[in-house]
Structure 1
Amino acid sequence: MKRWIRDGDIVVGRLDRQEAAVVRGLVSQIQDMLMARAEEAPQDELAELTGIRTGPSTAPDDPILGRLLPDFHRLDPDAPDPADVDSAAALRSLHEPELLEQKVSACDVVLSTCAPDGGEIRLKIAEAEAWLSSLNDVRLALGTALDVTEDMPDELPPEDPRSPHLGVYHWLTWVQDTLVEAMMA
């Protein structure tokens, strides 16, 4: 892939077949995880009557989903106040469905604008923002799975099983960075 460039109100990029397969595969995995989480939402009769959706009141057990869907209210880990716990549960229940919808929608944009065989990608600004959102989610998920830290070297020894995946993580970082630069141009 070459750098993204901006041409007026359009952002243009090009992925080869393998790059497109990586992006599509990772975005699809994130989308599947998010949709599975959305299906965990409780069925609430009042929500059905009022149209106000509710989601789970507890954080996901999966560390990757926990990273993608952080708490809306941080608790004191040493001494959580019961009122704060209730507040965090209520905020999650109210806001998580909308967040899930936005994230799944962003994944849809990437999957619809990135051809399976690669090629030129022409994005309107709103589509480029969806790409940024999805790329960020993929990087967060991959970084969590690889246990990426600020102290981690740019390259790992070849015998480290995370080594090839860290290369993908760095490539996605570059793709995201050049997309941001193109949008700011």
Structure 2
Amino acid sequence: MQTADGARFRSALEPHEAALLQSLVTSVKGMLDERESSAPADELEEITGMRTGHSSPPQDATMKRLLPDFFRSATDHPAGSGTAESLNSALRSLHEPEILAAKRDAAQRLLDTVPAGGGRFELTEDDAHAWAAAVNDVRLALGAMLDIESTGPDGVPADHPMAGHVDVYQWLTVLQEYLVLSLVGKPLR
């Protein structure tokens, strides 16, 4: 819907959907906070005002999915893999703090606008973008926990300890699709 103040996106969530979304986004936000708080101290930050972050990738598979390497060598470089590792280390150190901040801000914006007990709600265009980003991060995290790769959620074996969460992953996929389609002005299916 278009208003004098810009686009507005209206929808509704059932109480259990709102509670689930709040819980999942809060969990991902906590993981992002933990990653940021574990960054090494930087003495130059006070002088330069530039924050730096970790230079090494996360060890946890879920965080690796949320904070992937910046550069992947398409071929074996004659100088070895050290070149790609060095480039990733430098880029991660410089950009991870702002990436974490953007992800946390999107998560917080979703948490601030999701209806606490479910029900109808209205989002601004900026809110809808934040929702799409936050839902994407939750999907990435849940996808890593479910070992979802290119095979999609149908490739999760029934005996996987988190196989029951595939429905949640698929619901998040539909939610994200609706958000993206609404943002680009396409009719919903």
Same fold flag (TM > 0.5): yes
* Runs of 4+ displaced beyond 4 Å: 75-79, 155-160
Bigger Cα displacement from structure 2, 42-51 vs 101-110: 42-51
Identity %: 41
Scaled by the length of structure 2, the TM-score of the pair is: 0.86
Matched residues in 1 for 2:156 and 2:93: separation?
A: 40
Bigger Cα displacement from structure 2, 106-115 vs 69-78: 69-78
Residues 40-98 of structure 1, C-alpha deviation per residue, up to 9 Å, x if partnerless? Answer: 12211111211000000000000000010011122579774433322211110000000
Bigger Cα displacement from structure 2, 126-135 vs 68-77: 68-77
SS at match of 1:10: strand
Higher relative contact order (CA 8 A, sep 6+): 1
Aligned equivalent of 1:18, options 13, 16, 19: 16
Bigger Cα displacement from structure 2, 8-17 vs 79-88: 79-88
Aligned to 1:53: 51
Matched residues in 1 for 2:155 and 2:119: separation?
A: 29
Q: CA deviation at 1:155?
A: 8.6
Structure 2: runs of 5+ lacking an equivalent: none
Q: Which amino acid aligns with 2:72?
A: R
Bigger Cα displacement from structure 2, 39-48 vs 17-26: 39-48
Q: Is the 8 A contact 1:75 1:85 kept in 2?
A: no
Scaled by the length of structure 1, the TM-score of the pair is: 0.88
Q: CA deviation at 1:149?
A: 3.1
Structure 1: runs of 5+ lacking an equivalent: 1-6
Q: Is the 8 A contact 1:156 1:163 kept in 2?
A: yes
- RMSD of equivalent CA atoms: 2.1
Q: Is the 8 A contact 2:56 2:89 kept in 1?
A: yes
Q: Which amino acid aligns with 2:116?
A: P
After TM superposition, the structure 1 = structure 2 runs for residues 5-44 of structure 1, keeping only pairs within 5 Å, are: 7-8=1-2, 9-44=7-42
Q: CA deviation at 1:163?
A: 3.1
The structure-2 alpha-carbon separation of the partners of 1:167 and 1:74, relative to structure 1 and needing over 3 Å to count, comes to same
Aligned to 2:142: 142
Bigger Cα displacement from structure 2, 42-51 vs 150-159: 150-159
Matched length: 179
